[in-house]
Chain A
Amino acid sequence: MVESNDHLIEKIKQLIIQRLRLVEMTPEMIETDAPLFGEGLGLDSIDALELVLGLEKEFGVIIPDAEVGKKVFQSVRTMAQYVLEHQGTA
């Protein structure tokens, strides 16, 4: 099923909060285009694996390696784009 972009973005924000246990955050607090790592949300490589597992479980999409991971985990929007492009192809 192809999801609408806004709905998917919301779901991805929820996935980030839930998988990373960011208990004090709400989806509204995560900017769609802000960097997830370093300066932005401040995530690290341990979080990246958690998101890889989360995307696979929730959307059935696979991040095959670190190179793809770097591109996908730039922001919530790039994550959503990757899910849209790869959902149902795994």
Chain B
Amino acid sequence: MFEDHHPLREAPHFKELLKRASNQTKFDLLNFSFEGDEKEEDLSLKLQISAYFLSMVHFYRLRAAGWNPDIFAEHSMGIYSALAASEAIGFEEGLFITEAIGRLLKREGAIHPGGMASIIGLPLEEIQKICQDLNGFQLSIANYNGSMHFVLSGEEQGVEKAISLALSRKAISATRLAFNTALHSPSLYSLREEIMEILQDIKVQPLKVPILNHWTVKPLRREEIKDFLSQEIGRPVYWIRCVEKLLQEGFTQFIEVGHETTLTKLMRWIDREAEAFSAGDRLPR
């Protein structure tokens, strides 16, 4: 995953976190592969573990540079690194939850094949209409990312049909995401008891930095965290709502604590003037 001279390998805590991660999981982050017989079908699981690790490396890198966030907003499975960064759970616990829930999703995907599609360039009403027109494929809106950016979740065949329909209705882009489950759709809501079992030995500590709950747009309370985690894979991500709330509260600088730039780019549609950048884009050269 990281070539020998990748600048992130020089980041503070990289080696330490890598060592701690390799004691915890059989996933080899440097080679992006599992030890033993796990095969390519684990792509989404691999991506989830990698994204967690990268978020944490970037978080420690930013913190070592003197950055002190006032609040965290989280998108989808970003909740696990947000919880670890706020010290509500430890780094290893976050990794454990990421992998355990990832494996649960993998199992679910094998039983009920599903998928996700990112659709760009159509407004909410059009997206809702696509879900209605494909009634019967259990399609639902999984992510409200921006006024013209939504993610749909549902049965595999329905997702493919939604992509064709979106393109025929003038979407600028409609593509499959690397998930074989209908993440953030009601069909996964039934997993909440199993997720609670995964979390049973985790002791949630007081949060050092608040995390915004995107359903209530209030800070997530310590006592509701397990419940939130058990439900969030079966409920949509209201990213726009989250960012709008932060803007209303007077926040002016937004930093994407990860390796990608998607959330940073989405800021352009919510508030063009807000300062936003991704940690992955500001690596030392």
Contacts and interface: CB of A to CB of B under 8 A. Distances in A.
Interface in B243-280: 262, 265-266, 268
Interface stretch (A9-17, A25-33, A59-67): A59-67
Contact of B172 (A19, A20, A21, A49): A49
Contacts of A52: 121, 172
A66 B173 contact: yes
A87 B175 CA distance: 30
Interface in B19-67: none
B8 interface: no
The secondary-structure label for the interface of chain B is: mixed
Contacts of B167: 65-67
Contact of B120 (A19, A45, A63): A45
Interface residues of A, number: 17
Given A65-B167, A66-B167, A48 B172 contact: yes
A38 to B, nearest CB: 13
B260 to A, nearest CB: 10
A48 B175 CA distance: 14
Residue of A45, A46, A48, A69 with most partner-chain B CB within 10 A? A46
Q: Which bracket fits the contact residues of B?
A: 10 to 19
A50 interface: yes
A49 B170 contact: no
Interface in A47-90: 47-50, 52, 63-67, 69
**9 closest A-B pairs by CB:** A45-B173, A46-B265, A65-B170, A49-B172, A49-B121, A49-B120, A45-B120, A66-B167, A48-B172
Given A20-B268, A45-B175, A48-B120, 18 more contacts: A21-B268, A45-B120, A45-B172, A49-B120, A49-B121, A49-B148, A50-B265, A52-B121, A64-B170, A65-B167, A66-B121, A66-B167, A66-B170, A66-B171, A66-B173, A67-B167, A69-B172, A69-B173
25 contacts: A19-B268, A21-B268, A45-B118, A45-B120, A45-B173, A46-B120, A46-B149, A46-B262, A47-B265, A48-B120, A48-B173, A49-B120, A49-B148, A49-B149, A50-B268, A52-B121, A52-B172, A63-B172, A64-B170, A65-B167, A65-B170, A65-B172, A66-B121, A66-B170, A66-B171
